[in-house]
Structure 1
Amino acid sequence: MNITHLPLNAMRAFLVSAKHLNFTKAAVELCVTQAAVSQQVKMLEAQLGVSLFIRQSRGLNLTEEGSILLPVVKGAFENLSEAMDMLMQGIRREVVSVGVVGTFAVNWLLPRLADFQARYPLIDLRISTHNNKADPVAEGLDYLIRFGKGSWHATEATELFPAPLTALCPPDIGRTMTAPKDVLNYTLLRSYQPDEWSLWLNEAKVAVPKAKLSAIVFDSSIAMVEAAMQGYGIALAPSVMFERLLTEEKLVQPFDIYLHQGSYWLTKLHAQKESQAQIHFKHWLLAQAGAGDGASE
């Protein structure tokens, strides 16, 4: 049915009649005659080709078709009323577009989004994931959340929290290791940074073998840790991103040794002005991260 031909008066008559299950009471609420309400409902039934009410001497009952239509019509009128109230009060929905490192998006941000939606129901978040490289201008992003040292050209960066790397593996492999050098008995899973395991071994006071370390390279810590849990080797990943798996003992951290390579940062271009919605998101994110308001340039 073409939207321009929707019988709004008839649907409203149906909605109020269904509310009271009585044409007379519906007429009182709508400030029209009982005959007018009845006529509007009959017109809607004729247009749909179905009966919406079972008419009885003591009132009305919804037919199966009426029961199907009622929540749809009720929801449509509620949405229309809400939108009109927002317009009359000068309220409008705002959008905040955020590019997020995939691991951060899935393992940290997603579990907290319900809180943001509850606090800011008129702000719509648009989230896209990236592997620590993105172009905010080309992609139309208000913010980027990424991992690093906090220094990007023409960019304001606010630290969220550090995310040191450590060895992570499934419990069965963890039980076989008694000293940090034991990681060399397994395939070492790492990111695209080739020296990460060598640096971690240095932190652990383990001599780095002269032979090339056996490794599988991933562009995502999520995929790396999943590979570790499937028995492919030992991941070198930020434990702060996998607290749930550690708590559930699907993953273990065999050694209390960390490699500090950077933090997660909320970033935006210096030249970009922030809307009120963007500022709300930033303050919420910093509060969730337990961070301050300091920024580095």
Structure 2
Amino acid sequence: MQMPPLSLNTLRTFEAAARHLNFTRAANELCVTQAAVSHQIKALEAQLGKSLFERTPRGLRLSDAGATLAPALQQAFAQLAQALQALDDGTPPERLCVGVVGTFLHGHLLARLPAFRAQHPGIDLQVRTHNNKLDLLPEGLDAAIRFGDGAWRSEAATPWAPTPLAPLCSAALATGLRAPDDLRGHTLLRSFRNDDWPAWAQAAGVRLPPPRGPQFDSSVLMVQAALQDAGVALAPLAMFRRELASGALVQPFATGVDLGRYWLTQPVSREPSPALERFKEWLLATMPA
């Protein structure tokens, strides 16, 4: 049976809701009410005959059908924006070079880049990864997303959402972790921040031996090691939602510890460009509710 034509406005509404995983934020972006977004999503689900979202204790998440449709729409809208740009008056795009710590790129930004391109086709966004140690001006960066306490010399810092750290491990290894003290018998994978595990142990009310496991300069690599049963990682929960939702990665204990957050930083000596201001506004709008 041939599917009836789908409204472009309805598809655009779903794309925004899928990107934010929040109807209110999608409504703010589209300049409509939350009820209008909900109505459009219900109408699309009725046409498709499939649910596109699931409600969980942590909020909205995409169903299997929604996860299939969302990236295709993001790509389609990005291609449409590029085609429209080709018809404009030939104004050159504004270059914006942003350094992004790899964990944030993996856990949040990468999936949303097509949406940014669709919304801001006049910005030539260049992304360079780093391991949280960089110098903006000498490296030719307009801004950087990094993890820390917000205190960087000669840089203005705009905070993103709180990002607590918690133990993460494979499903197989989690079966032997019933209480925080059980960690004493497991390898504790480490980041370059030596105070992470001691701070978590204090918050959990447990005494742990000094971590002796491998040390990583990227939480993404550390969590990949945990998924391969190399040990238990202490990593930002918000950046590994996909792995947690799939069940491959497990958070064995509820305790988290807040040792910093992600920040968008920029040199105080340079007036922010219009492109950077638009990127900052867009980035803050993607924060989870």
Report the equivalent of 1:288. Answer: 286
Q: 1:1-297 residue pairs with structure 2 within 5 A?
A: 85-87=88-90, 91-209=91-209, 212-289=210-287
- Summarize the Cα distance change of 1:243–1:80 in structure 2 as closer, same or farther, 3 Å threshold: closer
What secondary structure sits across from 2:250 in the alignment? coil
Give the residue type in structure 2 aligned to 1:165: L
State the Cα deviation string for residues 10-46 of structure 1 (Å, max 9, x = none).
xxxxxxxxxxxxxxxxxxxxxxxxxxxxxxxxxxxxx
**Displacement after TM superposition at 1:187 (Å):** 0.5
Give the residue type in structure 2 aligned to 1:180: P
Cα distance in structure 1, aligned partners of 2:204 and 2:182: 11
State the Cα deviation string for residues 138-185 of structure 1 (Å, max 9, x = none).
111111100000111121100011211100001111111110111111
**Displacement after TM superposition at 1:84 (Å):** 7.6
* Structure 2: gaps (5+ residues): 1-81
Cα distance in structure 1, aligned partners of 2:234 and 2:191: 8
What secondary structure sits across from 1:126 in the alignment? strand
Cα distance in structure 1, aligned partners of 2:166 and 2:84: 53
1:160, 1:290 within 8 Å by CA — same for their partners in 2? Answer: no
CA RMSD of aligned residues (A): 2.0
Give the residue type in structure 2 aligned to 1:255: F
1:159, 1:265 within 8 Å by CA — same for their partners in 2? Answer: yes
Give the residue type in structure 1 aligned to 2:100: V
TM-score by length of 1: 0.66
Give the residue type in structure 2 aligned to 1:188: L
2:163, 2:236 within 8 Å by CA — same for their partners in 1? Answer: yes
What secondary structure sits across from 2:189 in the alignment? strand
Report the equivalent of 1:29. Answer: none
2:93, 2:122 within 8 Å by CA — same for their partners in 1? Answer: yes
Cα distance in structure 1, aligned partners of 2:138 and 2:257: 33
Cα distance in structure 2, aligned partners of 1:160 and 1:250: 27
* Structure 1: gaps (5+ residues): 1-78, 292-297
Query: Which stretches of structure 1, 4 residues or longer, exceed 6 Å deviation after superposition?
Result: 79-82
Aligned residues: 208
TM-score by length of 2: 0.68
Cα distance in structure 2, aligned partners of 1:190 and 1:81: 47
What secondary structure sits across from 1:189 in the alignment? coil
What secondary structure sits across from 1:190 in the alignment? coil
Report the equivalent of 1:70. Answer: none
- Summarize the Cα distance change of 1:81–1:131 in structure 2 as closer, same or farther, 3 Å threshold: closer
Cα distance in structure 2, aligned partners of 1:109 and 1:81: 24
Which of the pair has more CA radius of gyration? Answer: 1
2:107, 2:238 within 8 Å by CA — same for their partners in 1? Answer: no
**Displacement after TM superposition at 1:289 (Å):** 1.6
Cα distance in structure 1, aligned partners of 2:84 and 2:248: 48
1:190, 1:216 within 8 Å by CA — same for their partners in 2? Answer: yes
1:95, 1:124 within 8 Å by CA — same for their partners in 2? Answer: yes
**Displacement after TM superposition at 1:82 (Å):** 6.5
- Summarize the Cα distance change of 1:224–1:118 in structure 2 as closer, same or farther, 3 Å threshold: same
